[in-house]
Amino acid sequence: MSKNRTVPAQATHPGELIKDELNERKMSQKQLANLTGIAPSVLSETINGKRAISLNVAVALEKVLGISADYWMNLQMQYNLDVAAIEERGNQKETVAVTIPVGDRNLLRSLAHKFGWACVF
């Protein structure tokens, strides 16, 4: 991952945008499934973020919604990158240097033991 890349707090699955399109067009999932030929279960899983947008789904959405397949595929790729970056950020360990007065070192030792901190005395 690029160190200069902005990582969102949460990733937005492309299914959210399909849901937004359906709401804007006052169209049901069933209607979209019928028009695109996408199995209703596949469409539902995609909209609910349980399935990635495949190339076939992207092409079908382009034909019916007039939104390019490239757009849908790019959204899916961005989602995948965001999920990976969020996971990577969550796996990073943070190191904090703290200076504790001599009289409080026993407290620090007990806190370090309790929370699993690594301390250098």
Domains in the chain (CATH in brackets) are 14-91 (1.10.260.40)
What are the backbone dihedrals phi and psi of residue 117, each rounded to the nearest 5 degrees, phi first?
A: -80, 150
At 83 the pLDDT is 93
pLDDT in tens, 60-92: 999 999 999 999 999 999 999 999 988 887 776
Query: How large is the angle between the packed helices 29-36 and 14-25, nearest 10 degrees?
Result: 100
Instruction: Give the C-alpha separation, 65 to 75, whole Å.
Output: 15
The pTM assigned to this predicted structure is 0.70
At 70 the pLDDT is 98
Instruction: Give the C-alpha separation, 64 to 35, whole Å.
Output: 7
Percent of the chain topping pLDDT 90: 61
Count how many residues are written for the chain: 121
